[in-house]
Each structure stands twice: as C-alpha cells, then as structure tokens.
Amino acid sequence: MERIPTTREGFEKVRDEIRQLEDEEMPKIAQKIADARAEGDLSENAEYHGQREAQGLLQARINRLRAKLASSYIVDKALIPKGIVAFGSIVTVKDISNGVEEKYQFVGPGEEDYEGEILKILTSSPLAKSMIGKKPGEQVDVPLPKGSRRMEIVAIEES
C-alpha cells in the first residue's frame, strides 16, 4: 500500500470527521431504523429499507476515511527539502501550450481543496507525481485521460 504524506492538521481533520460520523450520524440512523422497525411489517417498510441503505453508505464512507488514515503518515514540515517540489510546496506552473499560469499546493488526505487562488491537490495525483522532485525551470509532462499536458515549473514557495 502506498504511504501518503499528510500534516498533523489534515490527519486530525479526517480523524475528527470519522468521530463525528460514528458518534453523531450513525446513532441518528440507528434510531431512525429502530423507529421504522417499530412500525411493523419490514417487507413493505420503505422507511426501514431507506435507513438501512443510508446506514450502509455511511459505514462505507467511514471505512474509506479509515483507510485514508491507515495509509497516511504525518510529515514534519521542517524536514521537507527546499528548492524542489515536495509535499506542502506551493508551485506556480505555466501551461506551455497556452501560457496560462496556475498555483498548486501539494497536500495530503483531508487537506485537498479544488477552489480558490491556490488549488490544494493530493500528492498522490498524477499532477503532483509528475512534479515532485523537480526544480524551477524544469518542464514536465502531466498525464491526462487523453494524452498529456506539458507544463513548466515557474516558482516554488514553501508553505
């Protein structure tokens, strides 16, 4: 299993979400199932079946978040190399085909955010994987579903 870097904040965010789902949402669904079960015949009880499905979906979400935590490790920001693209770096890149510049920060699970001026992208993404270890001025080919995209690393900022 691939180990994925994360900050303490990102790790705790995912852990807190799991706690909230297990301690608040799951008991609510369990109560709704009990209420629906009390209404009688379960074979024709749409509310009961709907809540059981919701319970299964919630448990699947909890399992995915637990797997995310199990595959991640907390990174000490002081140990991150300087001057190259690494976990936590804020990277300005230029698309060679059209000259458009974008900023990305490479983050771990629970920290991704695809809106805003700086897009927070998972280090496990093809974009991040193609840039990790590179320096300003280097060009990379980012794999896309249909072909690839050539980009130049313009600048790197430490987070």
The last residue of one of the domains, among 31, 54, 74, is: 74
Whether residues 98 and 61 share a domain: the answer is no
Whether residues 85 and 128 share a domain: the answer is yes
Whether residues 140 and 119 share a domain: the answer is yes
Q: Length of the chain, please?
A: 159
- The token pair at 62 is 């909890």
pLDDT tens for residues 78-131?
Answer: 777 888 999 888 999 999 989 899 999 998 877 888 888 899 998 888 889 999
The last residue of one of the domains, among 55, 74, 93, is: 74
Whether residues 66 and 81 share a domain: the answer is no
Q: Does residue 33 have a pLDDT over 80?
A: yes
Whether residues 32 and 93 share a domain: the answer is no
CA distance 106 to 67: 20
pLDDT tens for residues 81-91?
Answer: 888 999 888 99
Beta carbons within 10 angstroms of residue 107's beta carbon: 26
Helix axis angle for 26-37 and 46-70, nearest 10°, is: 160
Range of the domain at 65: 4-74
Whether residues 29 and 67 share a domain: the answer is yes
pTM: 0.69
Nearest to 157 by CA among 61, 91, 87, 75: 91
pLDDT tens for residues 49-84?
Answer: 888 899 999 999 999 999 988 988 888 877 778 889
Whether residues 37 and 68 share a domain: the answer is yes
Classify residue 47 by its DSSP letter: H
Q: What is the arithmetic mean of pLDDT over 1-11?
A: 81
Q: Does residue 1 have a pLDDT over 70?
A: no
**What is the three-state SS of 93-114?**
EEECCCCCEEEEEEECCCCCEC
CA distance 46 to 81: 56
Number of domains into which the chain is organized: 2
Q: Which amino acid is at 98?
A: N
